[in-house]
Structures are given as C-alpha cells and as structure tokens.
Amino acid sequence: MAEYTHIVQPFEPVYDENSEILILGSLPSVKSRENGFYYGHPQNRFWKVMSAVTKSTTPYDIAAKKQMLLDHHIALWDVIRECDIVGSSDSSIKNAVAADLTDIIKKAQIRRIYVNGKAAEKYYKKYIEPTIHMKAVVLPSTSPANAAFSLDRLIHVWKDLLWPSEGSYEYSLPMEYGDYTEILRESHMQGIEEELLVKVWKDLYDGWNLDESKLAEQEALHQLIRHKITVWFQSQEDSRILVLMSLGSFFDDWIERYEQKEELLKAYIVECYAMGVLRRAYRAFYDEHALQTGTYVAGMKFLDVEDVAQVGNLIEKQNIQDVKINEAKVFVPQKTVAFFTWKQDEKKDCTDLNICEQCGNINCINRKKNANEKPVTEENTETVSAKRKKNYKNNMDDIAARAETIKNNYGYHMIFGDKND
C-alpha cells in the first residue's frame, strides 16, 4: 500500500504589481519538486501552451519562465499550501490547507483567476472562493494524464479562455440624483424646475426597483440606480473589435409611458438622461473590457450604414435575444449602439474622443452646431440658450416639437450618424 507524504508548498508565487491574470494549479508534482519549479515534469505541457498563447519562445530555465509570465502580466501559484498526498496523485489528497492569496490580490492587479484542471477547481471552490469572492475559470489540465486534449487543442482552448476573441459580459453604472442632474446640465437643460426633475427621478427609481415599496420623493434623492450595460464583442481580422452595447429597454419603456400620457417634457428629460448614461458607458467600457477580457483597446468609430450587416451577423452568431435591427435599420431597444475599437498592447487614455456634448454620439448630426453653444446660466439671459430655457418652461408647443425631433431622429441618425455631416 502506497504511503502518504506530508507536502508543504516549496515554491513562492510568481507575480509583480502589474500581474492581472492569476493561474493556479493544485500542488507541485514530485518531478516539479525535484526540478525546483512549477510544472517541471517533462511531459507536462504547461510551458509549451503558455509560450504559444503569449507568442513567446518556449522557456527552459527558471528565470526565463518567470520573465515570460511577468512580461505578459500573468501570476502563477497553487491552490493548496500543504496536504498529505501519495506521490503526485491529486485524487489522493487529504488534510488540505489552502494557500492564502491575500498578498497577491492586494499587491497585484488581479482581474481574472484561472485554475489548471479539475483538482485545482475542486479545492479553489471549497477553500478560496468563499474567502476572496472571485470566481475562477477552469482550464483543461496540461498534465500528461489529460490524454483527451492534444497540445494543439490545449493551446486553442487556453487562448480562447485567457484572451477571448468574442463573447459578452455585463456591468453596471451606479447613478445618484447628482449624476442625473449633472447629465442634464451637460445637455443644456438647467432651466427645468427642480420639482419636475425630482418627480422624473422618483419615477425612474420606482420603475427600476419594482420589488421595493415606493419611496417618498426626498428619499429617492439618496438612492442609487445601477443601470445595467450589456456588451457583446467580436474580434476582427484587422485588429479591430466590433462592439454592440445596450442599455436595454428600461429607458425606451419610460419614454413611451410619458409620451402616451402626453408628458413630453418628461419624455425629453429621460431621453437626455439616457444619452448621458450612454456617454458614461462608453468611457467605462475601456476599463471594463480590459477587466473582462484582458484586452486593452483605444479609439472608437461608430458604424457606417454599410457596416450594419456585420452587426446582424454578430447578433445571429451569438444568438443575441436582447437586441434586434428593425426594417428601418434601427436598433431595438433604441438605447443601443455599435462601434469599432482597436486592440492596444497597453492601456492608454481613451476618453479624449470627439463626442457630441449633447447626445454623447461621436457621429451626431448636431455635433458641429452644438460645439460652440454656451450652456444656460443666469448671467447670459439674453443668449439663444437662455431663450431656449424660457421655452422649456413656458412653450409646450416648442417642447412637443423637441420631443418629436428626438423621437424621430434618435434611432438611425443618432446611432450611425449622417454621412453628409
């Protein structure tokens, strides 16, 4: 009968302050311990896989292995700090004590965690996930015992999981009443009475959080609305990434409710607020995409008319149920945009874009005429902006016309831009 040996992790974790991906094995094998480093068994394919997915030369000495990982912002360690084990058999592990990932999480910039094989997954879920509250993605084991996966298949799967070329994710933008009013000021809507703004915000809050009892107006001012952003993406052959981003039907539903009750100014307020949320969603996208995919991006180009077919292909290929393109080539829900962005080797400042201050769209047909328009203030009461402020308050015909313009023009032109602009 084989004897158990008590093993304590002999290797320090590999990481630095720039590490973003953490890969965890179970415990170093006998051969790895003999050779003095992770995945030291000559038949284990870990280093061949990593060199392939990072497009690096396969390293053979410990220093080169560490450097390859650090150069690509990858951290490496094991799930188990110590245990009793027979040889290198993961199935025999007992009395396991989990590794403490606190220092790595605190000192590095870990965005995603992966586990190499089912044994590592088992102990990660049991001991580590409950303490750090980060889920791990399971990678097929690089062990020679995993004969179901050839080297080529391992490389293909690891590459797609570590750096996905297409997929989807969700994130949220927390908004408070102060964000809401700031967005409306950016849209030159300072002239709206505060009482009306509060009522619209309360409606939005109650509509967003239907499972809670309705709040008083003043209570609603201190609540958060976490607007959900859904992103679908697909890498192109020319290093571009096609991105489809949607706020869902929340804003469309509220605008329609107000329009049905002929509360057109409220509908217009929601429209302007929704466009501001989209503008903030664009800016948040860059950090969120890096967090979700490990891919840095820069720049943004909204789609031309001839590019719409590519979005249709994306919708069909990824079986997207939440977004459609109607007969007029307009997205439904309307608070949906599509654009190209470009892969970058490192993170750059991507927020300095030529985005319309009024609607947040880089190809907005009103971009040029809005560029030099001054916001409404009490001091410039004789300006055109101040006249519009007065119209907001007193001229419902003008309000109706503005709301109708937004309703008619937002869809096609506000998404794809006007090619004559």
Gap between the Cα atoms of 275 and 280, Å rounded = 9
User: Are residues 244 and 314 in contact, defined by beta-carbon separation less than 8 angstroms?
Assistant: yes
Is 44 noted as a catalytic residue in this protein?
Answer: yes
Q: Contact 8/81 with Cβ under 8 angstroms?
A: yes
> Whole-angstrom Cα distance, residue 301 to residue 57?
35
Looking at residue 60, its amino acid is Y
- Distance separating the N- and C-terminal Cα atoms of the chain: 81
- Under 8 Å between Cβ of 227 and 175: yes
Coil, helix or strand at residue 178: helix
Cα distances (Å, whole numbers) of residue 160 to 137, 155, 229, 238, 310: 12, 9, 23, 18, 21
Looking at 44, 116, 363, 366, which residue is catalytic?
Answer: 44
Contacts 24+ apart (CB under 8 A), 321-327: 322/230, 322/246, 322/248, 323/232, 323/244, 323/246
Listing from the earlier edge strand, what are the strands of the sheet with 21-25?
74-78, 21-25, 112-116, 136-139
- 144 touches 41 (CB < 8 A): yes
Q: Mind telling me the catalytic residues?
A: 44
